[in-house]
């Protein structure tokens, strides 16, 4: 499937169960997340579709270190010159690689509220074995701008993962890269699981303070108009 333009210069590509995003920035081509293991060919194909080569990929920015987001990171590091950015809380997971089993991990991961979500959680959450260790070049904490793009704000948004980052690109009325803070599958709602749901709720409420026309998600389609209004409608009324 070819990459889908969300706004000029910003593209969504679905690889397996997760979305990754390509951004043409003045500092070079940027990839947000890397999909499940084995997604590198589809990502390189998408880069080719944009008229670029693997050498043009300068930055890989990771929202959080779940296997469906870091699965092809090590492979892409071998194939491109890209530097990798992640929050320090999730850096170790990417560097270690190995097995990821959300139900038997030292970091707990629990289903989000709702019966259906609980059912999907049990159906779809499976362990990943033998993830390849990856290199981390730059740690991002939130509150700063991406070092190569001063129009992209880094927002610490823990909960789904305690090292989760969201990104706000301040062009085209604002584009929020929401990672797995929540999902849009098929409507704006919880992600399947949270490391800490209460912390996750606070992050979702925090994000209500930002203005963005579009929002993209690790799972589910993009919202291309009035996204922050919809965000506030869904998450602004959470207690606390
Ligand atoms: Zn996740
Ligand atoms: Zn995910």
pLDDT recorded at residue 180: 98
For the stretch 111-163, pLDDT in tens is: 998 888 888 888 877 788 999 999 999 999 999 999 999 999 999 999 999 99
Using the mean position of ligand 2's atoms as its centre, give its distance from the Cα of residue 219 in Å.
6
Check pLDDT > 90 for residue 103. Answer: no
Check pLDDT > 70 for residue 209. Answer: yes
Using the mean position of ligand 2's atoms as its centre, give its distance from the Cα of residue 112 in Å.
14
For the stretch 65-79, pLDDT in tens is: 999 999 999 999 999
- For the chain, domains (ranges, CATH) are 4-235 (3.60.15.10)
Residues 6+ apart with CB under 8 A from 33: 18, 19, 20, 21, 61, 62, 63, 69, 70, 179, 218
Query: CA neighbours within 13 Å on the CB side: how many for 20?
Result: 33
Ligand nearest to the CA of 217: 2
Q: What mean pLDDT comes out for the span 211-236?
A: 98
For the stretch 163-207, pLDDT in tens is: 999 999 999 999 999 999 999 988 999 999 999 999 999 999 999
Using the mean position of ligand 2's atoms as its centre, give its distance from the Cα of residue 29 in Å.
22
Ligand nearest to the CA of 112: 1
Percent of the chain predicted with pLDDT > 90: 84
Ligand nearest to the CA of 194: 1
């Amino acid at each position: 499937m070819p990459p889908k333009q969300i706004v000029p210069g910003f593209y969504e590509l679905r690889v397996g169960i997760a979305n990754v995003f390509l951004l043409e920035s003045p500092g070079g081509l940027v990839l947000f997340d890397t999909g499940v293991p084995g997604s590198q060919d589809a990502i390189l194909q998408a880069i080719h579709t944009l008229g670029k080569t693997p050498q043009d990929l300068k930055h890989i920015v990771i929202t959080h270190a779940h296997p469906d987001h870091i699965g092809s990171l090590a492979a892409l590091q071998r194939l491109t010159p890209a530097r990798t950015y992640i929050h320090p809380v999730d850096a170790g997971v990417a560097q270690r690689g190995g097995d990821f089993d959300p139900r038997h991990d030292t970091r707990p991961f629990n289903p989000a509220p709702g019966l259906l979500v609980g059912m999907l959680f049990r159906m779809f959450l499976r362990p990943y074995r033998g993830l390849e260790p990856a290199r981390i070049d730059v740690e991002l904490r939130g509150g700063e701008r991406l070092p190569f793009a001063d129009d992209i704000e880094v927002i610490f948004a823990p909960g789904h993962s305690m090292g989760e980052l969201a990104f706000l690109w301040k062009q085209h009325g604002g584009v929020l890269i929401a990672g797995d803070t929540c999902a849009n599958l098929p409507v704006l709602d919880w992600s399947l699981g949270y490391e800490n749901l209460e912390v996750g709720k606070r992050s979702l409420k925090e994000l209500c303070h930002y203005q963005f026309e579009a929002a993209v998600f690790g799972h589910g389609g993009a919202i291309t108009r009035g996204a922050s209004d919809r965000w506030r409608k869904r998450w602004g009324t959470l207690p606390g």
